[in-house]
Amino acid sequence: MSSLTLKELFPSKLSFIIFVGYILLFVNQGILVTASQQSNNRYDYSVVTVVLLTEVLKLVISSLLYCRENSATQLVKEVLSNRKVLLLYFVPAFLYCLYNNLAFINLSLFDPTTYYLLLQFRVVVTGILFQVIFSKILSKKQWISLIILTLGCMLKQVNFTQETPAEKPSKAASVSLGLDAIMIFVQIICSCLAGVYNEYLLKKQGASINIFVQNVFMYLDSIVCNVLLLILNGNLLEAFLYDNITKVFHYKVLLVMINNAAIGIVTSFFLKTLNSILKTFASALELVFTALLSNLLFSIPIYLNTVLSICTVMGATYLYTQNPVQNPPKPAPQKQDEESLLQMEEV
């Protein structure tokens, strides 16, 4: 890639750091969640409790980062004066709420590499939603790269060995048209719509609002959505049982929560400085590292279909870098956003 192309992809050095950090954190999340499972691929802790407490952790971190340069009173004023944007954040908050809960379920159904490969079907869906919400028509080269990326994901489902395992694997290495397929499909829709709409709020509706305040909006709404989901499922009291709370403090579970909280913060900066199309390619690049680390840590084999799929994904990523999507935020609040980014860099 030429320096011009790199400049188009990453407007600043910090945006490149955010891009790399996003990939590493997501790869780490899949590894941590898998490591926190028992030998039967189930969780010894309450998933709903972990998801809810993670949202609380994100809210606390975002509030503290804002209050490093401002007062708590100013934060309350910002929230009250931007009530409309706060309400708009209920849309991505609800979608992320479903996504986070489905992530635990689907990681118990599939090995990490297969899980991330299946999630790459969100690429084309994201491209369509991006065009609709931002009124930007993607070029032919951009669409070709998206389609190749999707085909690369489909390669993972092709059995080149023609071997039938003697025993049913503990986790699926492919997907059938059943409940597991429905779970993945719903998670894909949640991911695509939440990501593009969140970018819209960061760059359009909430462009003049401090990014840490916008994160507070997101996590306040997320907590409400998670509590409502617990009430609907009749699991609210269960989430706060002493036994479930104590299991959260296991170091493996704490690492899952801390890493997930970091993902939430970094994702907001990713969508603010870059865009949701590049975010899908960053997610695809997770496949390379996830496959290698899963093989090293959990002895999950890498077959020919996985290798071909990863190579196709890498090729699509390279093609995309030749003509990347440009979707910068409104210029007016640029100074404020840069200050917020510098605050994050100092932490």
36 closest CA partner among 247, 213, 246, 244:
247
Instruction: Give yes or no for residue 170 having a pLDDT over 60.
Output: no
Instruction: Give yes or no for residue 337 having a pLDDT over 80.
Output: no
pLDDT given at position 64: 95
In a domain, 318, yes or no: yes
91-149 confidence digits (pLDDT tens): 999 998 888 778 878 888 877 767 767 776 777 788 888 888 888 888 888 889 888 87
In a domain, 163, yes or no: no
In a domain, 167, yes or no: no
Buried b (16+ CB within 10 A) or exposed e, 174-190: ebeeeebeebbeebbbb
Instruction: Give yes or no for residue 175 having a pLDDT over 80.
Output: no
Task: Tokens for 100, please give them.
Answer: 């986070």
Domain that holds residue 199: 3-158+172-346
- Which band of pLDDT confidence, cut at 50, 70 and 90, is reported for residue 158? low
Residue of higher predicted confidence among 193 and 283: 193
Q: What domain count does the chain have?
A: 1
List the single range of 8-12, 48-52, 190-194 with lowest mean pLDDT.
Answer: 8-12
Instruction: Give yes or no for residue 313 having a pLDDT over 70.
Output: yes
Residue of higher predicted confidence among 163 and 45: 45
pLDDT given at position 234: 77
List the single range of 38-42, 190-194, 340-344 with lowest mean pLDDT.
Answer: 340-344
List the single range of 34-38, 236-240, 280-284 with lowest mean pLDDT.
Answer: 280-284
In a domain, 220, yes or no: yes
Beta pairing partners, 37: 43
pLDDT mean across residues, the chain: 81
pLDDT given at position 79: 92
Q: What is the DSSP letter of 171?
A: S
pLDDT given at position 168: 43
- Tell me what the mean pLDDT of segment 310-332 comes to: 76
Instruction: Give yes or no for residue 347 having a pLDDT over 50.
Output: no
Long-range contacts of 156-161 (CB under 8 A, 24+ apart): 156/113, 156/114, 156/117, 156/118, 156/305, 156/306, 156/309, 157/305, 158/305, 159/305, 160/303, 160/304, 160/305, 160/308, 161/303, 161/304
In a domain, 164, yes or no: no
In a domain, 247, yes or no: yes
pLDDT given at position 81: 93
pLDDT given at position 5: 58
Residue 314 CA to residue 12 CA, distance in Å, equals 23
In a domain, 166, yes or no: no
In a domain, 165, yes or no: no
pLDDT given at position 171: 55
Rounded to the nearest 10°, the torsion over CA 288, 99, 76, 237 is -130
Place of tokens 């990490």: 112
Helix (H, G, I), strand (E, B) or coil at 11: coil
List the single range of 14-18, 103-107, 288-292 with lowest mean pLDDT.
Answer: 288-292
pLDDT given at position 342: 53
Burial of 260 (0-12, 13-18, 19+ CB in 10 A): buried
Place of tokens 């997501």: 26
pLDDT given at position 135: 81
Task: Output phi, psi for 172, to 5 deg.
Answer: -70, 135
